[in-house]
Every structure is written in C-alpha cells, then in structure tokens.
C-alpha cells in the first residue's frame, strides 16, 4: 500500500490524502458485475446503477476524501449505501435504519461544504453502530425485548468525537442478544446472516456490524468486544477488526458484561487504514500512520497450543498466510504459551459468570431505562435464558477473588512473554473453524470430531481479552467453500498505533480476499419493489 501523506492535521484528514483521488477514481470507475434496474425503490430512490455499486466498494478513507474535495456528494454516497442496504435486507444486519434521516444528514454535510465551513476527518461518512451503544437519535435495544423502546438521553462517549468530525449515524446494527454469544442468532429480532453464505453465522456478538461492512453496506462500523465479539465476526466475515488495548476507548454509555474488566469498543472495516482513521479520530491522534516494514517485525507462533486442533483447511490457510509473512520479511519465532496464559479463556469465562448480572443491573439503573434486571431476564429469549438464570448463583466470593488475582498474574505473564521472546505480536487463528451454520449449536464438528463451542471459539480469543492486549484480526484467505478465515495478531497493551502500522504491512503481504457474492435474488427483490 502507498504511504499516507505526512504532517497533516487531523481536521484535514491526514490518513490517505496523498493517494485518495487516484484511489477514488480507480474504484469508482471499476466495472462491478451487477444488474442495472430502473424501478423505483421503496426507500425513495431509483435502484442502484453501476456507479452506485462502485461507490459501495470505496474505503472510508477514500470516500471521505472524495466528499471533502467535492468529487463526491455526501447525499449521493449515502444513497448508494442505503440502496445496497436494501438489497441486502436478507442479512438482517440492522435493528434500526431510517434512510430519510441519513439522507437529511448527508444533505446537511453537503451544505456545510458548500458554505465553506471547516470539514471533519469523517465528513459525510455513514457509520453503522452496534445496538448496544447508546445513541440519542435512535433506540438502543441491546438486542432484547425488554429494552426495545429504550431511548438514551445522550450518545455514548465514543460517538461524540466521531460525530464531531462529521460522521453520520447510519443506523443501529443487530447483535447477539445482550451481547451474550458468538453467533448473533437473535431470537428476539431475528438472526443475522453471513454475506458469504446466508445459511451461516456472521459471528457475534457484533454480527450486524460485521455483516454490514462485509456486504459493502458501509466501509466502517463500530462493534464491541468483551470475549471476541469483534474478532470472531471479523474472522467469519473476512474483515479487519481492532479490539484495542483495554481502556483505550471510553465505554461510557454501553451496557457492560463485566465491571471494568474486559469490555472494549472497536472498529470493523475492510482495510487497516480505515481502522487507523477511526482510532485517530477517537483518540485525537494527529500523527500520520507510517507502515512498519515486516523485516522489522518479529511475530511469535504457538503451534502446539494456539494452532492445535484447528480445522485442517483452516490450518492450511493459516500456514500459507504465515509463509507469506515470512517471505515478506517478518521473523517468525516459535514460542509456546506458558501454562498460565493457556488458562486465560477459562479465567475470563469464570469472571464473567460472577460479574454479568451486576454489570447489567448497574447499567439499567444508571441509564434510567425503567427496566429492572428481573424484567430483563424474564423477557430474554429462550436461547439466552439459561445463561442469565445460571449467572444468578455464580459461586463463593473467595473463588471470585482468586480469579481476579489469577487475571492479574495472566496480565503480568503476557508482558513477560513479549519481553522474553522480543516479539511485537503473537499470531494465531481466532477460532478453530470457519463460520458454521446459524443456530444455537453447543458443539461444532472439526475434522470429524465434536468440539464444544467454548473451546472452538473461546480458547484462543480469551488471551487478548483477559490480558488486555491490543488485538488486530486480518483476513488470511478463503476455504474451498468460499468462507473467510482470519488471522489474529495480539500485541502488548498500549501498542495499538504500532500494531496498526504493522497491520498496514501485514495486510499487503497477506493480500485481499474476494468479496461476498451478490446474489441474483437481491436484485430481483429490488426490481419487484417488494
């Protein structure tokens, strides 16, 4: 990838400006294999043309730059994304989407530019937001019936700098109910589907955000990761996802699953530089991001633990991806995880059992939702009720205090691991298999063997959450069934900008994967004005 122009203030959109015009023109002129319809959409606009389809392929960085320069109207861009969202309604990616509100905000962005006003780093960018993140303009249901009409009084803290820099609230994305699961099989408001295969899960709990970005409904979206809820959807949907160091972004205005332990908001995108743009805006970082050459990067791998037991095809894809990184100059260091770090997932799971209900109850009260914890549990869907009921009696307090102490030991041991092996990151598959059929599976089949879901998904991702690491997921390849496989890179706490800078080079070496296929029935539904 080309390097972004340096020494440019945030308000001038420092990331990607040097190449944005070239990229925009190239992407916008690409021939996208779609049918052109002439009928009027129910959402108030003619069905998408080839140019509209090309706009949906733009990165956030390129789209914003084009809108800031006047090469692209914010309203035209919003219309293209909204029409794409209509074509992909089968995904059930959104809980709430009000097209006219998005168009109105886009027109306001165009008027602001016409008036010569200062433009923000996210000028005109429609941004899907996970429906566990408070928004003043739209309800925040947390994917559950009891909060279906909860209207927060103010936006969550993470949204304020994004909106201040010109982002537009596109809508609220569907999720696993109460963020308590990895499939986004929401029985209250319908399951989210994977755009690569509509019969499969997109991962969870931020499944709607991931599905929207993978389907080109938006280039950038917000998710939330307590126990893999950004990283699993990123892997299953072929995206770049960032779970930053714990505490890097404020979680005020978001229902937590743990009391200041694991919950972390973060972005999902199709390109690392869009993750970097998001991080720059939220943190106020003005320095441009320069790619770090892989010849300067040392990456640890743990074949006997983190790579063990994976689906054979996933294992082959990961092995080939690591070989590409080595060929690009990265130094791969065989460094098995010590036993204490192998316990990270179990420790996090146990702590969540103790803290889940108290965290929810505190949120319900502090946010004046008018809903009690008992009401929340009583109205929860059948597939979630056993988890919530079981959390009522987590166990003795002495055991809980012991778990907290063990978590601190895991954090210290993780730092020791990075220092002892002198590595920038540790690389591994986030999950042991690709996306599986949507539903409420408790076990999945891997290589002909049944494996419980907490092992298949939770084993590897628990380390980043429990140790508070900086976690970046990138696409590694596609299976023979065209299902994405991700590769996770975990760096030390506080290394987020460095991880993103390395990520620019990792992304180049790994290469891009094909987008999900656009199915004919989506075009047919639009042309019939369903």
Query: Which candidate in 59, 65, 73, 130 is catalytic?
Result: 130
Q: What is the third-level CATH fold of 125-518?
A: Amidase signature (AS) enzymes (3.90.1300)
Show me where the domains of the chain are located: 125-518
- The pLDDT tens digits of the residues spanning 32-56 come to 333 233 233 334 444 445 477 899 9
73 is an active site residue:
no
| Average pLDDT over every residue of 169-181 | 98
Are 387 and 353 in contact by the 8 Å Cβ rule? The answer is no
pLDDT of residue 259: 84
Residues 379-413 as b or e (16 or more Cβ within 10 Å = b): ebbebbeebbeebeebeeeeebeebeebbeebbeb
- The pLDDT tens digits of the residues spanning 189-207 come to 999 999 999 999 999 999 9
Cα separation, 388 vs 391, in Å, equals 5
Q: What is the token pair recorded at 208?
A: 């709607």
Identify any residues that bridge with 241 across adjacent strands, giving them in sequence order: 268, 473
pLDDT band at 518 (very low <50, low <70, confident <90, very high): confident
179 is an active site residue:
no
For residue 50, the surrounding DSSP H or E stretch is: helix 50-55
Cα separation, 206 vs 184, in Å, equals 7
Handedness of CA 170, 175, 177, 178 (dihedral sign): negative
Are 106 and 126 in contact by the 8 Å Cβ rule? The answer is yes
What are the strands, taking DSSP E only, across 230-322?
240-243, 264-269, 298-301
205 is an active site residue:
yes
Q: How far apart are the first and last CA of the chain?
A: 42
Given strand 240-243, what is the order of strands in its sheet?
Answer: 94-96, 168-173, 126-130, 220-225, 264-269, 240-243, 470-478, 484-491, 425-428, 298-301, 331-334
- The pLDDT tens digits of the residues spanning 423-433 come to 999 999 999 99
Mean of the per-residue pLDDT values of the chain? 90
Query: Which candidate in 41, 179, 184, 205 is catalytic?
Result: 205
Nearest to 216 by CA among 97, 101, 82, 122: 82
Query: Which candidate in 65, 229, 280, 359 is catalytic?
Result: 229
Cα separation, 473 vs 223, in Å, equals 13
- The phi-psi region of residue 122 (left if phi > 0; otherwise alpha if psi is between -120 and 50; otherwise beta) is alpha
Cα separation, 228 vs 458, in Å, equals 8
pLDDT at 410 over 70: yes
């Amino acid at each position: 990838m080309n390097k972004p122009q340096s020494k440019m203030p945030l308000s001038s959109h420092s990331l990607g400006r040097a190449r944005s015009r070239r990229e925009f023109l190239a992407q916008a002129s690409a021939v996208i294999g779609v049918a052109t319809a002439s009928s009027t959409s129910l959402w108030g606009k003619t069905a998408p043309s080839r140019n509209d389809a090309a706009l949906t392929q733009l990165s956030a960085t390129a789209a914003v730059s084009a809108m800031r320069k006047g090469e692209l109207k914010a309203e035209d861009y919003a219309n293209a994304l909204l029409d794409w969202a209509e074509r992909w309604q089968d995904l059930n990616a959104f809980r709430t989407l009000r097209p006219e509100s998005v168009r109105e905000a886009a027109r306001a962005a165009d008027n602001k530019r016409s008036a010569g006003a200062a433009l923000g780093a996210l000028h005109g960018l429609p941004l899907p937001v996970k429906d566990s993140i408070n928004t003043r303009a739209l309800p925040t249901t947390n994917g559950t019936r009891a909060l279906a009409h909860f209207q927060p009084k103010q936006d969550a803290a993470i949204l304020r700098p994004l909106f201040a820099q010109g982002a537009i609230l596109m809508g609220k994305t569907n999720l696993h109910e109460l963020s308590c699961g990895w499939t986004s099989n929401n029985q209250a408001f319908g399951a989210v589907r994977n755009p690569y295969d509509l019969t499969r899960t997109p991962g969870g709990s931020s499944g709607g955000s991931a599905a929207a970005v993978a389907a080109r409904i938006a280039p950038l979206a917000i998710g939330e990761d307590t126990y893999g809820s950004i990283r699993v959807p990123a892997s299953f949907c072929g995206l770049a996802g960032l779970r930053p160091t714990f505490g890097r972004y404020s979680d005020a205005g978001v229902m937590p699953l743990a009391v200041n332990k694991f919950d972390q908001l973060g972005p999902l995108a199709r390109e690392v530089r869009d993750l970097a743009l998001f991080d720059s805006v939220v943190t106020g970082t003005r320095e441009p991001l320069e790619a770090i050459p892989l010849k300067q990067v040392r990456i640890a791998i743990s074949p006997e633990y983190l790579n063990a037991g994976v689906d054979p095809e996933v294992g082959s894809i990961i092995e080939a991806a690591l070989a590409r990184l080595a060929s690009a100059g990265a130094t791969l260091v065989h460094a098995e995880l010590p036993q204490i770090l192998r316990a990270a997932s179990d420790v996090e799971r146990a702590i969540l059992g103790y803290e889940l209900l108290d965290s929810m109850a505190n949120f319900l009260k502090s946010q004046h939702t008018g809903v009690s914890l008992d009401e929340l549990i009583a109205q929860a869907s059948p597939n979630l009720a056993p988890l919530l009921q079981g959390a009522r009696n987590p166990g003795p307090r002495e055991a809980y205090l012991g778990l907290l102490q063990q978590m601190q030991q895991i954090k210290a041991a993780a730092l020791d691991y990075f220092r002892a092996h002198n590595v920038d990151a540790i690389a591994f598959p986030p999950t042991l298999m690709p996306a599986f059929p949507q539903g409420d599976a408790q076990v999945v089949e891997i290589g002909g063997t049944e494996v419980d879901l907490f092992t298949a998904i939770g084993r590897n991702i628990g380390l980043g959450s429990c140790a508070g690491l900086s976690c970046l997921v990138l696409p590694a390849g596609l299976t023979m069934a065209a299902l994405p496989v991700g590769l996770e890179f975990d760096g030390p706490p506080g290394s987020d900008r460095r991880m993103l800078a390395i990520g620019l080079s990792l992304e180049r070496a790994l290469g891009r994967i094909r987008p999900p296929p656009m199915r004919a029935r989506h075009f047919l539904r639009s042309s019939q004005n369903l």
